[in-house]
Structure 1
Amino acid sequence: MPRPTAAQLAYGSCTVILSTLAMLLLSQTSSGLGIVMITLSALVLGLLVAMTVPLPKPVRTRAMPVVPVLKERAPGRRETASVAAAATSEHVREPANP
């Protein structure tokens, strides 16, 4: 299990403290059982907040593989008759005197 970051600790601690104070003030409880239940629920809420804070994304060290594209199968590229004839024609030298 990775160690918590500073942001996770800060968000979780603030959530526990503020939610405990808010619930104690709103409920106006004075019994020991009520205070324990509020404290436990604030701790659970703080853990939930701390665990849902987004973790920093790992840095990629490997490069993405490059997929070669063949010219013959490239979509959207068509050869015309003049381009095909020009590409296949070769210069032929024949002797002038047989």
Structure 2
Amino acid sequence: MPRPNPAQLLYGSATVICSTLAMLLLSQTRSVVWTAAIAVTALALGLLVALTAPSAHARLRRRASVGRVTAPSPAQPARHGRPDALTASHATAAPAASATPAGMGVRH
């Protein structure tokens, strides 16, 4: 099992402290047995939060894999050295004469 990172330790510790204080204040218990039960419950809750908090390393790995394409999808077949239509249309020279009649499309 990998070691928890500092953020996970912080989340778990904060959960233990806040949940212990909240349960003790809300229950207003004076019994040692109930105080121990609250402490054990708060520790279990803090451990659950610390283990389920996403680690920074996994988040960075997930972000890096989002932009990466490993194989072409069925909708886009592989282009074995063939330029696509957009690249070819931009690579050609501009037409000598304009396709629009004179005066159309010109703003004054």
TM-score when normalising by structure 1: 0.61
Structure 1 runs of 4+ aligned residues shifted over 4 Å read: 63-68
Instruction: Structure 1 unaligned segments of length 5 or more: list them.
Output: 72-98
Match of 2:18 in 1: 18
By how many angstroms is 1:70 displaced?
4.8
Larger Rg: 1
TM-score when normalising by structure 2: 0.55
Matched ranges for 1:1-98 at <5 A:
1-56=1-56, 57=58, 59=61, 65=70, 68-70=78-80
Q: Deviations over 1:30-77 (max 9, x none)?
A: 1111001000000010011111111122646xx865664358xxxxxx
Q: Give me the CA root mean square deviation.
A: 2.6
Q: Select the structure that is richer in helix.
A: 2
Between the aligned residues of both structures, percent identity stands at 52
Figure out how many residues of one structure are paired with residues of the other and give that number.
71
Instruction: Structure 2 unaligned segments of length 5 or more: list them.
Output: 73-77, 82-108
State how far apart, in whole Å, the 2-side matches of 1:19 and 1:65 are: 45
